Amino acid sequence: MRFILLALNLVLGLVAPAALAQSQFSPVIRVNDSAITGYELDQRIQFLTLLRFPGDIQAEAEKGLIEDRLRLAMARSIGVKLTDQQIAAGMAEFAGRANLDTEQFLQAIAQGGVEPETFRDFVEAGIAWREVVRARYLGRVSVSEAEIDRALSADNGRGTGPRVLLSEIILRARPGEIGLVRRKAEKLATETRGEAAFAALAREMSLAPSREDGGRIDWIPLSNLPPQAQAAVGKLGQGQISEPVPLNGYVALFLLRGMTGGEDKLAPGAIASDYAVLALGAGQAAEAQRIATEARSCDDLYLMTKGQSGAVNRQTALRGAIPGDIAAALDRLDANEAAVVQGASGPRVVMLCARNATIAANHLDAVVPVIADPAVKTADGDIIPSAIEGLGFGNGPSRDQIRDELQNRKIGQLADAWLADLKAGAIITRP
């Protein structure tokens, strides 16, 4: 009997670990013809925990793995194949957000029990989906000039709220170098003491035209900065330097030299109005009211002049330069709204096309861009081409920057909706 019990214990000792391993790698979720194992789910839970992901970690892990299966399946279906270099660059970019290189990041997550393959799979699904989305939507999503005007307008919050006095350093971050450049910027921020030292670094290393003035830029509305820059600058105290701020192909550092109160609003005199005036003859009050009611944009006014040359006058001006009766009417209008203003020679239809408040200084006078000398080189050997004369934040966001921002937002919304449709049409089961 003792021999039988001993043999039984030996058998159970061999079977139990095998059964445990088998259950760990058994499917817990099936997505169409693809299986998600208990091991993968456990790894994703640990990974999200290390990243301090908010919400229900298990639910988010399951959701992420299901969506990754759908992303990768779609990538395969349209022939997207990633190279090892692409995945390595993606891993380096993700690790760079924590100011680590890939090897350091892998060591950090290994201490939390996360395997390198888990991180690689996570990155691969994201990059594959990005390629799929580009193939489907890039070139098919457009941004109109009117949308850019709206995004740049004071009515949209641009130019209002707190204002900041900054110095900036803009560093180039080529593909795959974001982590390296962020660590370099972090080191600069840690070792630099005072505005004079920051200005010296800006002259030596920054790619923005403000380098000629030690990185100094005039007062700008905080709302003129990209969201990630707003978050970084908003945490600064007087004289402090920000954490590295990733931009599209660049990394920025900011030194705060001053900030207004949170309730500060852009003065009415500092807002430029893009407006149109359609002058009609005496006795045409009813026609003026009809046009004001039916016009949906400033362009409509041209169509309603019935070929009359010079009837519509459109211009952009600061409030102080606009005639008093027209300025008073514009104050009551939102973009693409119209009103009738009576004049000595007859009624006039006044329409607001847009309000703009994007220039950095306390006024909106025209600012001549500083064009960097193409022969100038930074300490890193980067030649500063005149093509980047708009780089930096001295004059607020450029139209190209806003166009990219709006296009990326549209593509992101379309991609999210597409993924939701794929998920709704998938067969998802839990064995």
Reported as a pLDDT band with limits 50, 70 and 90, residue 364 is very low
Over residues 331-352, mean pLDDT: 87
Please give the DSSP secondary-structure letter assigned to residue 224.
G
- Report the mean per-residue pLDDT for the chain: 80
Three-state DSSP at 1 gives coil
Residue 19 has pLDDT above 50, yes or no: no
Residue 111 has pLDDT above 80, yes or no: yes
Q: Which helix (H) or strand (E) holds 19?
A: helix 2-24
Three-state DSSP at 386 gives helix
What is the Cα–Cα distance from 318 to 184, expressed in whole angstroms?
43
What is the Cα–Cα distance from 191 to 54, expressed in whole angstroms?
33
Burial 366-375 (b: 16+ CB within 10 A, else e): eeeebebeee
Mention every residue, 6+ apart, whose C-beta is less than 8 A from residue 30.
36, 427, 428, 429, 430, 431
Angle at which helices 116-137 and 102-110 pack, to 10 degrees?
A: 130
| pLDDT, tens digit (0-9, with 9 covering 90-100), for 366-419 | 332 333 333 444 445 444 443 345 567 765 667 777 788 888 889 989 999 999
Mention every residue, 6+ apart, whose C-beta is less than 8 A from residue 138.
411
Beta bridge partners of 75: none
Lowest mean pLDDT among 260-274, 275-289, 309-323, 378-392: 378-392
- Residue 353 near residue 274, CB atoms below 8 Å: yes
Residue 263 has pLDDT above 60, yes or no: no
Query: Which phi and psi (to 5°) does residue 34 adopt?
Result: -115, 140
What is the Cα–Cα distance from 418 to 399, expressed in whole angstroms?
28
Cα distances (angstroms) measured from residue 315 to each of 80, 280, 304, 321: 49, 18, 18, 11
Residue with tokens 């900011």: 254
Q: Where are the alpha helices (DSSP H) in 192-254?
A: 195-205, 227-234
Please give the DSSP secondary-structure letter assigned to residue 26.
S
Cα distances (angstroms) measured from residue 312 to each of 55, 265, 298, 299, 352: 56, 32, 9, 10, 13
pTM of the model: 0.60
Residue 220 has pLDDT above 60, yes or no: yes
Torsion of CA 364, 368, 369, 374, to 10 degrees: -170
Residue 103 has pLDDT above 80, yes or no: yes
Question: What is the side-by-side order of every strand in the sheet holding 428-429?
Answer: 34-37, 27-31, 428-429
Reported as a pLDDT band with limits 50, 70 and 90, residue 315 is confident
pLDDT: which is higher, 279 or 399:
279
Q: What is the pLDDT of residue 231?
A: 85
Neighbours of 72 (CB within 10 A): 20
Lowest mean pLDDT among 56-65, 178-187, 231-240, 257-266: 257-266
